[in-house]
Chain A
Amino acid sequence: MVSEALRLENLNKAFGAVTVADQLSYGLKTGEALGIIGPNGAGKTTMFDLITGTQRADSGRVLFDGRDVTRTGAAERCRAGMARSFQVPQPFAGLTVFENAMVAATQAANMRGTAAERHCLQILEQTQLLNKANVQAGGLTLLERKRLELTRALCARPKLLLLDEIAGGLTEAECVSLIDTIKNIHQSGVSIIWIEHVVHALLAVVDRLVVINFGAKIAEGNPTDTMQLPEVQEIYLGIAVDA
């Protein structure tokens, strides 16, 4: 049996009358890169909250590396090897960019001393934030804050990397370099789930696609084929208008 990095089993979640996860189930093979698309408000970010433990599902199970983590807290799930970027950036505003990275390296990846520092410097170079290393994160622009989200997630040295809309607003060149970065991480064996409205960036990286609408999975499979499905085309056009 191929080992699984993640499995969601019949996850349900509602905010009052709004259903944001509806019998959501899928699996992710170890080392696989999965793309998630769906219209605004479909419940994609909430799905990340349920995977990482920021929010608890109403019912259903989350298995990480074969272990049931449904009742495990966010901090413990992270130390077990999950890291995410937040769609709405959550920087440690009073710390510098480098210190933000160090939080991830020392707390999530449990690295110490010089090893942690060198690791952070390398990731900062990769994410092109090295020239902001000594700047307080509270003073960054929105795009820089988004890059800091990616930086922190990478500094955590995850087994499973969860990316939530990191390509929006980039120039063409920046987007190409971002795709390169994610491809490299993918090649190094990290399992990835990437939520993205910038579909061409997504398709350049992922092995498989899951489409979500109203909290439910409406399509799943090979990226190019899945994009051709009529129900997906409909949503994709909707996204194109929104984005």
Chain B
Amino acid sequence: MSTDHLQVKRGSRASFVATIIGLIVLAVLIAAPLWAGRADMRLMGELFLYLSLACLWNLMAGYAGLVSVGQQAYVGFGGYMLFALTIFAGVHPVVAVLGAGVLAALIAVPVAALVFRLRGAYFAIGTWVVAEVFRLSFAQVSSLGGGSGTSLPVSIVKSMTSGRQAREWLSYWLALGLAVAVIAAVFLFLRSRRGLALSAIRDNELAAASLGINIWRTKFVVYVVTAALTAMVGALIFLQKLRISPDAAFSVNDWTAFVIFIVVIGGIGSLEGPIIGTLVFFALRETLSDMGTIYLIALGLVAIIIMLKAPQGLWGIVRKRWDLQLFPLGYRVQQSATPDNHQQLHDK
């Protein structure tokens, strides 16, 4: 017997269908100004930004095992860099979003060298301390409003587009574009050789190291790239808000706790999880947020129930039940395709 009759495929029928549906949904979303009202577009823009944050946090915690509770450091840093670059350097806001990403990558290098010395819970606490240091530092910068913050000057806002509606459309498209870029980047990375190494690290660091994977370097790259993209999300968040303050920029609640909630209920360590989690989170928020504290209690309850009943999140249930993979990350061994023989290998 030989293995000539076998072939290796990356996709499956489910992932093919998911790609088609994904592209249709994307086209509909790009055309949102044609069918959605202002409030809806604002909400969707926010959803895209949370989706980006969730994908990035999941890459760090779910794959690289870097459980950070300090990603607000980069959200806030990105927001402040947007303001600093546009106000002091006269950079166009859209360019400033990219600039915020580059600067965040630069600052993430020494921060990583510092927090990577810490393990497990100490790492988590370390990242949070770093975020607090960032918050206190930016509160000292009086030219950016110190502790009470500042607004983006009207002249800069006006320089962006010709009117308010155009500006709202632009920030909607930027948020959508960044979310698509983040998902695509994470997907392509995970699908690559390096990404397979990261999945191996996720599952077993001992075996990963014994198979030639440089764990420290892989995690370092993930941390720095995540920081850069998180800062770009942060810049867009505050480009939407047009106002920044240390407490809003470095809020652990808004930029980390909710994001962890999203990833945990959706399913950590998968690409589909953060997407499902974001949809569930916004559905809960939009239906329950009028109820004040009850809303937060409900969120907490949902999180606890899912963590107890389905540690792999909602996507974990689906995946286990139907062996589905919407993003074609994996490898499938099949009989070579003759026209009427597409059967997959099955045990038994």
Contacts and interface: CB of A to CB of B under 8 A. Distances in A.
Interface of A: 52, 54, 73-76, 78-79, 83-84, 86, 90-96, 98-99, 102-104, 106-108, 110, 112, 114, 117-118, 121-122, 124-125, 130-135, 152, 156
23 contacts: A54-B209, A75-B210, A75-B215, A78-B209, A78-B210, A86-B206, A92-B203, A93-B203, A94-B199, A96-B330, A99-B199, A102-B196, A106-B193, A107-B193, A107-B197, A107-B211, A107-B213, A108-B211, A108-B212, A124-B3, A125-B2, A130-B6, A152-B207
**Helix, strand, loop or mixed for chain A's interface?**
helix
The interface residues of chain B, by DSSP majority, are classed as mixed
A96 B212 contact: no
B39 interface: no
B214 interface: yes
Contacts of A118: 3
Chain B, interface residues (CB within 8 Å), range: 20 to 34
Interface in B311-347: 330-333, 344-347
B202 A121 contact: no
Contacts of A92: 199-200, 203-204, 207-208
A222 B203 CA distance: 41
A83 B207 CA distance: 10
A99 B3 contact: no
B8 interface: yes
Nearest to A103: B200
B269 interface: yes
B23 interface: no
B6 A121 contact: yes
Given A103-B211, A130-B3, 15 more contacts: A74-B210, A78-B211, A86-B206, A90-B210, A94-B269, A95-B203, A98-B8, A103-B196, A103-B199, A103-B208, A106-B197, A107-B211, A108-B212, A118-B3, A134-B346
B204 A91 contact: yes
B1 interface: yes
B212 A54 contact: no
Interface string B188-231: 00000100110110111011111111110000000000000000
Contact of B204 (A73, A90, A96, A122): A90
Nearest to A94: B203
A103 B209 CA distance: 11
Contact of A78 (B204, B212, B215, B332): B212
Contacts of A133: 333, 345
Contact of A83 (B211, B331, B345, B346): B211
B262 to A, nearest CB: 20
Contacts, number: 117
Contact of A86 (B193, B207, B331, B344): B207
A116 to B, nearest CB: 9
Contacts of A104: 211
Contacts of B199: 92, 94-95, 99, 103
Contacts of B208: 92, 103, 107
Contacts of A135: 347
Nearest to B214: A75
Nearest to A131: B347
A121 B3 CA distance: 6
B257 to A, nearest CB: 26
B3 A122 contact: yes
A79 B206 contact: no
Nearest to B197: A107
Interface in B168-201: 193, 196-197, 199-200
Contacts of B215: 75
A152 B200 CA distance: 12
Contact of A79 (B2, B212, B344): B212
Contacts of B332: 134
A91 B199 CA distance: 12
Contacts of A112: 193
Nearest to B270: A94
Given A86-B207, A103-B196, A106-B196, A134 B345 contact: yes
Contacts of A152: 207, 211
A77 to B, nearest CB: 9
B211 A96 contact: no
A110 B213 CA distance: 11
With a 10 A CB-CB cut-off, give which of B197, B207, B332 has the most chain A CB atoms. B207
Top 10 nearest A-B pairs by Cβ distance? A92-B203, A90-B207, A108-B212, A121-B3, A133-B333, A78-B212, A79-B212, A74-B209, A117-B8, A107-B212
Contacts of B193: 106-107, 112
Contacts of B269: 94
A76 B215 CA distance: 11
A99 B196 contact: yes
B204 A156 contact: no
B333 A121 contact: yes
